[in-house]
Structure 1
Amino acid sequence: MGRDSSEKRVVVVSDPAALAQRVADRFLVRVRARTADGRLAHIALTGGSMGAAVLRAVAQHPDAAGIDWSLVHFWWGDERFVPAADAERNALQARTALLDHIDIPAGNIHEVAASDSGLSLDAAAEAYAADLARFGTPEQAWPSFAVCFLGVGPDAHIASLFPDRDEILVTDVAAVPVRNSPKPPPERVTLTRPVINASKRVWLVLTGAEKASALGLALAGANYTSVPVAGAKGRKRTVFFVDEAAASKVEPDLIDAAY
């Protein structure tokens, strides 16, 4: 199926396990292409069960050994402001699934400060923004991610940008603190929408029938202030990787079987 590169694509895979493998395959192809000539690849990770499943599939993939991981920098779209050893930390989940199993310099892993780091929530957000700015340009104070992974909540939130909250409207800084999150834990740090949308590719990974409504609203072009996922858009590609349950409300002509 021929498609304009700016369109939102939907890739449907039978079940979560097969979906994780498909995304891992595509990810390694993309990282290899990006780093083949020595360029850096900045990657934004997501948390949750599918985020971890994709990273485990990457770690177990035979092609992972062929990647020069010294050229890859890992970031997170959001982080829970909890102690560093808390199992709810997205960074801890990513380390367990992938990062502890590859040969990557410690300085290439850019975690948000934990709640037991000595920094306040606001200072953690400011420090994360400052770290992003080290890889920015005069035009934007953050890197353009080669791939930005996003999970999607049943309420259509992405990262820690929740519906009808002030964080989704912020455009002048790269990262902001989140308090009284509608989903626990209550304190978080999140990238803002301009950082997400500066990514070359935004890959949204979602499974389950409870995500079908959010996916339908995103594809229908809903207002992003109330449906944050509708506002996520990569500069080159925006791809929804979904299982059959999440795709139950997707029109067949929106599914890209060739990607």
Structure 2
Amino acid sequence: MQAASAEKRVVVEPTPAALAARVADRFITRLRARTRSGRIAHVALTGGSMGGAVLRAVAENPRSADVDWSLVHFWWGDERFVPRGDADRNSLQSREALLDHIDVPAENVHEVAGPDSGLSLDESAAAYAAELARFATDENPWPTFAVCFLGVGPDGHIASLFPDRPEVTVTDAAVLPVRESPKPPPERVTLTRPVLNSSKRVWLVITGADKASALGLALAGASYTSVPAAGAKGRKRTVFFVDEAAASEVSPDLIDPAY
């Protein structure tokens, strides 16, 4: 049974910029505490405008110098199957926002192979699963993420797990290829729910009025097959970081002003 502390919390900031700064500060605090004790921190990143905004806020925060980045490993919850230099790559966005500005070893950055690697979509997914397995834990054949960032689409999708698609229900694989994605580009590689939900902390970062309905459904306990965000839950913490526009359908008693 998960502890009560793993219950979903909602943190609201007035604007996307204020939200990015708050998430970045929490992220730095978490990584600083972990790396100061010499522990490795595995982190799963997300794409999208807020994924990039949070990482830029981390890069701009002077406290980021307190993190021992040599102990941090970066992964991605999903990736678009496009060449490495393509603007659609989540990893390219992450590099430009943060990774190129910190002293993180190249071997700590675990990118999904694109078509320019010579691998097919299925081979890329298999290779990413094998890379995850290099950092297996006693419990799972993948690393435990200290923090897993997730964006949420207006349809409630997370990573590349889209509503009412077979990928969202898979539990016997760590990584899946995705074809004919309802959101372009059509080919992607995604982590599965078991991997995402084995994270210690799942942080969903959501902005905009177009996300309000999906957020409301996720918090109301909708079916995760229809609203994948409803099935996202960290082992220790599950936090929805949202701006006021996205929070319009959130009950005030769910908002945690102290977190």
TM-score w.r.t. length of structure 2: 0.98
Q: Does residue 1:96 correspond to 2:96, yes or no?
A: yes
How far apart in 2 are the matches of 1:137 and 1:7? 24
Deviation at 1:137, TM superposition (A): 2.1
Superposed, 1:53-64 pairs within 5 Å as 53-64=53-64
SS at structure 1 position matched to 2:189: strand
How far apart in 2 are the matches of 1:243 and 1:98? 22
Aligned twin of 2:76: 76
Deviation at 1:66, TM superposition (A): 1.4
Letter in 1 for 2:77: G
Cα deviations by residue, 1:158-211 (Å, 9 ceiling, x for unpaired): 000000001001111110000000000000000000000000000000000000
TM-score w.r.t. length of structure 1: 0.98
Aligned twin of 1:221: 221
Aligned twin of 1:157: 157
How far apart in 2 are the matches of 1:55 and 1:6? 24
How far apart in 2 are the matches of 1:29 and 1:115? 37
Superposed, 1:1-259 pairs within 5 Å as 4-259=4-259
Cα deviations by residue, 1:136-171 (Å, 9 ceiling, x for unpaired): 124311111000000000000000000000100111
How far apart in 2 are the matches of 1:88 and 1:6? 33
SS at structure 2 position matched to 1:54: helix
Deviation at 1:114, TM superposition (A): 1.1
Letter in 2 for 1:137: T
How far apart in 1 are the matches of 2:15 and 2:192? 31
Letter in 2 for 1:215: L
SS at structure 1 position matched to 2:4: coil
Number of corresponding residues: 257
Bigger share in helix: 2
Structure 1 gaps, min length 5: none
How far apart in 1 are the matches of 2:138 and 2:178? 27
Cα deviations by residue, 1:7-35 (Å, 9 ceiling, x for unpaired): 10000000000000000000000011111
Runs of 4+ residues over 4 Å off in structure 1: none
Letter in 1 for 2:230: A
The alignment yields a C-alpha RMSD, in angstroms, of 0.9
Identity of aligned residues (%): 77
Deviation at 1:6, TM superposition (A): 1.6
